[in-house]
Chain A
Amino acid sequence: MKTYRLDEVTRRALEGPFMDEKDFDMKLVRRTRELVKEYDIRYDPKQPVCTDDSVADDVYEAAMRLLLEMGFYCQTTKRSIMFEEGEIKRVLRSLPESIVLGSGKDALTMNMRRVEDPRPPVIHAGPTGTLCTEGEVYVKTMRSFAQEEVIDSVGAGTLATIDGFKIRKGTPQEFRAARLLARWAREAISQAGRPGMHINDVAVVSPEAKLCALDPAYGLRPSDGIIVSQMIELKTSLQHLSLVEHLQSYGIHIGNLMTPILGGYSGGPEGTAIVNVAEHIAGVLCYSASYHYCSLTNVKNLNGTDRPGLWAISMVGQALSRNSEIMSVYDCYCASGPGEEMLLLEAAAGGVAASVAGMNVMGCGSCGGKLVDHSTGLEARMLKEAAAAAAGMSRADANEILNKVLPKYEDRLDIFKAPKGKTFQELYDLASARPKAEWQGLYDKVARELSDLGLEVP
């Protein structure tokens, strides 16, 4: 059924209104600014999570209007894929309230969460956006996530090399990397005793290379997931739609990856929230995604854990949770690196803001994705534990906590100032893939401090 919809999507990508891409960007810039003004949506830095339901509903309504007016731009054909309101609503009504991820004893249910939902969020963990060393180090890095009991899913590491080759897009080495990333992720979850755990992606760039990871025996199974990206902002391509076509026939979960840039074409947090909600809806319509990664980053500091960033993502979460069954996953991009207290605080703040907004979580990215092997399971555990601790909390209480946590790091969010920390190899025992005392000790200290602030992080 959903595959048949792809025929209609493709037809519209071929026949929709033609527009030069720069004109589309400029139209989006102008229209978003107008909608922010018309709905009088205002970011309040004192409230990192907005507590006014009507603002969330306005953001949703504005996003729907934006999508209806702009369409979803196809870069290949330079045409907008246009929709009618009735058909969008019909598709949105067909979405499930929960999905099953993974298989066998390791299968779990991921629910559509609501604002201030008492059910803990699911975490899709992994070295998101972070380069990793190939081979054994990669397996152990992934295992460090998989053997954290609270972590529900792994994936999404990127390799710099394969068999010593620098990986270039569209080369045989990229295709091999896709195959081996999937094998190594499976090896990692097997080593952790969780062979049916959901693997959420292999992070190669070419859509066609991603297909090399699909392999029921050694690679990704239908119970796993693959990310299909959108381009910034509100754009796709025939290449990405082609990937969707095959993923649907394989039966694997599709993750709609959006990388909204706060301070970019959408403007400030208010416009970014509107555009990103529209991108979620486009991901439902055109990608038939099971879940949607909100990978917001700041245009300058490449993170999503600052005050306007948290306001924007929690606004997206609330808008969707109150008005749809679209499962949004906050992808936590941090400025600092592992081995640093700041990274744990960034993860905790992100977890709290996302959780009370009705989102699930993913992470953590670190150091703006600039440093190799700066990713470990422990910061992902903090993200999940903080998000779980905030489940059921009121937004007002969440703000009280965030207003105590944010001042501990927000003056160091500048990409030059954020402490970069250490590598996985320096912070973990490589034989057991367990954190060394130094890193574990820092985690315990931050967890105690957060508990003192009213966030019960184990």
Chain B
Amino acid sequence: MSEAQLFEELANAVYAGDDAKAVELSRKVLDAGIEPLKAINEGLMKGMSRVGDDFSQLKIYLPEVMLAAEAMKAALAVLEPEALKRGKATVKSKVVIATITGDIHDIGKNIVAMLMKANGFEVHDLGRDVPIDELIKKAEEVKADFICASTLLSTSMPYMEDLIALLKERGIREKYIVMVGGGPVTREWAASIGADGYGDDGDEAVKVAKELLQRRGAK
């Protein structure tokens, strides 16, 4: 099997959520002496990108995304340590994400976290009903690039304003890209509270995150 074929098969295994196949192919990559980072980028990421595209058009649903993410995780467990050994691992942008205070709805946040992970971000998911100071504490601890807050409830939206206010109060607002989203949250409202980004859905959230990162890098 050529390198290109192997990468295509890897992408297909991720897309199909076939973790056994993804692991088997990852081992073949290493046995063939192929650069693991290249296999991650041109095989696994390509498969996951197809998953993201098809999910955004609802050609597939969340279970397929979850199974693909599992397959990718299994393959990464084989490829990543070797890439690290070779000093070729990429530096990942770090995201701290949570469903904010007062809200225990987390499926939207879980989708965003999963898609961000699949797109190469290092995601620290703090769960749901997370106080704003804990989000900030974790972001400081891991030296995050992003703080992402989600809610389905209008009664938790004010806590997103509080998050930005507390970052300003502590003089660390500029250290972070703050993104918000969730059922009742709108683009206009996100802008009105001074958030840097907003996504109508997981797919848009990832695109916006990448754009914001590029813009920050360009500064």
* A168 CB contact (under 8 Å) in B66, B155, B200: B155
Interface string of A292-311 (1 = CB under 8 A from B): 00000011101000000000
* A263 CB contact (under 8 Å) in B62, B105, B157, B185: B62
Q: Contact at B184–A170, with CB atoms within 8 Å?
A: no
> A33-B63, A131-B154 are known contacts. Are A370 and B184 too (CB-CB below 8 A)?
yes
* B104 CB contact (under 8 Å) in A30, A75, A267, A370: A75
Say yes or no: is A167 at the interface (Cβ < 8 Å to chain B). Answer: yes
* A300 CB contact (under 8 Å) in B67, B107, B185, B201: B201
Number of residues of chain A lying within 8 A (CB) of chain B: 40
Interface string of B195-216 (1 = CB under 8 A from A): 0000011000000000000000
Q: Contact at A170–B102, with CB atoms within 8 Å?
A: yes
Chain B residues with Cβ under 8 A from A158's Cβ? 154
Q: Contact at B61–A263, with CB atoms within 8 Å?
A: yes
Say yes or no: is B150 at the interface (Cβ < 8 Å to chain A). Answer: no
Chain B residues 11 to 66 lying within 8 A of chain A, measured CB to CB, are 56, 58, 61-64, 66
Number of residues of chain B lying within 8 A (CB) of chain A: 29
- Which residue of chain A has the shortest Cβ distance to B151 in the bound complex? A169
Q: Contact at B63–A231, with CB atoms within 8 Å?
A: no
- Which residue of chain A has the shortest Cβ distance to B67 in the bound complex? A29
- Which residue of chain A has the shortest Cβ distance to B129 in the bound complex? A169
Interface string of A174-217 (1 = CB under 8 A from B): 10000000000000000000000000000011000000000000
> A26-B66, A231-B104, A265-B62 are known contacts. Are A169 and B183 too (CB-CB below 8 A)?
no
Say yes or no: is A261 at the interface (Cβ < 8 Å to chain B). Answer: yes
Q: Contact at B156–A169, with CB atoms within 8 Å?
A: yes
CA distance A33 to B56 in the complex (A): 20
Chain B residues with Cβ under 8 A from A5's Cβ? none
> A168-B159, A261-B107 are known contacts. Are A370 and B61 too (CB-CB below 8 A)?
no
CA distance A369 to B183 in the complex (A): 7
CA distance A213 to B1 in the complex (A): 68
- Say how far B86's CB is from chain A's closest CB, in angstroms: 32
Say yes or no: is A412 at the interface (Cβ < 8 Å to chain B). Answer: no
Chain A residues with Cβ under 8 A from B184's Cβ? 131, 369-370
Q: Contact at A29–B103, with CB atoms within 8 Å?
A: no
- Which residue of chain B has the shortest Cβ distance to A264 in the bound complex? B62
Chain A residues 321 to 371 lying within 8 A of chain B, measured CB to CB, are 368-371
- Say how far B18's CB is from chain A's closest CB, in angstroms: 14
A contact face: mostly helix, strand, loop, or mixed: loop
Summed over the interface, the residue pairs from A and B with CB atoms below 8 Å come to a total of 83
* B155 CB contact (under 8 Å) in A204, A231, A266: A204
Q: Contact at A232–B105, with CB atoms within 8 Å?
A: yes
CA distance A279 to B17 in the complex (A): 27
Chain B residues with Cβ under 8 A from A264's Cβ? 61-62, 107
Chain B residues with Cβ under 8 A from A415's Cβ? 200
Chain B residues with Cβ under 8 A from A283's Cβ? none
* B183 CB contact (under 8 Å) in A204, A302, A416: A302
CA distance A267 to B101 in the complex (A): 28
Chain A residues with Cβ under 8 A from B104's Cβ? 75, 231, 237
Q: Contact at B63–A265, with CB atoms within 8 Å?
A: yes
Chain A residues 215 to 256 lying within 8 A of chain B, measured CB to CB, are 231-232, 237
* B107 CB contact (under 8 Å) in A167, A232, A237: A232
Say yes or no: is B158 at the interface (Cβ < 8 Å to chain A). Answer: yes
- Say how far A119's CB is from chain B's closest CB, in angstroms: 34
> A264-B107, A368-B183 are known contacts. Are A416 and B61 too (CB-CB below 8 A)?
no
Say yes or no: is B153 at the interface (Cβ < 8 Å to chain A). Answer: yes
Chain A residues 26 to 56 lying within 8 A of chain B, measured CB to CB, are 26, 29-30, 32-33
Say yes or no: is A19 at the interface (Cβ < 8 Å to chain B). Answer: no
Q: Contact at B58–A168, with CB atoms within 8 Å?
A: no
Chain B residues with Cβ under 8 A from A266's Cβ? 63
Q: Contact at A205–B61, with CB atoms within 8 Å?
A: no
CA distance A33 to B107 in the complex (A): 18
Chain A residues with Cβ under 8 A from B107's Cβ? 232, 261, 264-265
Chain B residues 77 to 122 lying within 8 A of chain A, measured CB to CB, are 101-105, 107, 111
Chain B residues with Cβ under 8 A from A299's Cβ? 58, 61-62, 111
Say yes or no: is A268 at the interface (Cβ < 8 Å to chain B). Answer: yes
Residue among B56, B153, B154, B157 with most chain A CB within 10 A? B154
Say yes or no: is A160 at the interface (Cβ < 8 Å to chain B). Answer: yes
Chain B residues with Cβ under 8 A from A271's Cβ? 63
* B200 CB contact (under 8 Å) in A174, A267, A371, A416: A416
Chain A residues with Cβ under 8 A from B156's Cβ? 168-169
Q: Contact at B159–A29, with CB atoms within 8 Å?
A: no
> A169-B155, A370-B183, A416-B200 are known contacts. Are A267 and B105 too (CB-CB below 8 A)?
no
CA distance A183 to B186 in the complex (A): 30
- Say how far A280's CB is from chain B's closest CB, in angstroms: 19
CA distance A298 to B61 in the complex (A): 10
- Say how far B118's CB is from chain A's closest CB, in angstroms: 16
Chain A residues with Cβ under 8 A from B64's Cβ? 267
Q: Contact at B200–A29, with CB atoms within 8 Å?
A: no
Say yes or no: is A166 at the interface (Cβ < 8 Å to chain B). Answer: yes
Residue among B156, B185, B200 with most chain A CB within 10 A? B200
Chain A residues with Cβ under 8 A from B66's Cβ? 25-26, 29, 265
Chain B residues with Cβ under 8 A from A298's Cβ? 58
Q: Contact at B154–A160, with CB atoms within 8 Å?
A: yes
CA distance A237 to B62 in the complex (A): 24
Task: Give me 19 other A-B pairs in contact (C-beta within 8 A), A231-B104, A231-B105 excluded.
Answer: A26-B66, A26-B70, A32-B63, A158-B154, A167-B155, A168-B156, A169-B155, A170-B102, A204-B155, A232-B105, A232-B107, A263-B58, A264-B62, A265-B63, A267-B63, A268-B61, A300-B58, A369-B183, A370-B185
- Spell out B's residues near A (CB within 8 Å): 56, 58, 61-64, 66-67, 70, 101-105, 107, 111, 153-159, 183-186, 200-201
Can you list 8 A-B pairs with a CB-CB distance of less than 8 A? A26-B70, A168-B156, A169-B101, A169-B155, A204-B155, A265-B66, A267-B63, A369-B184
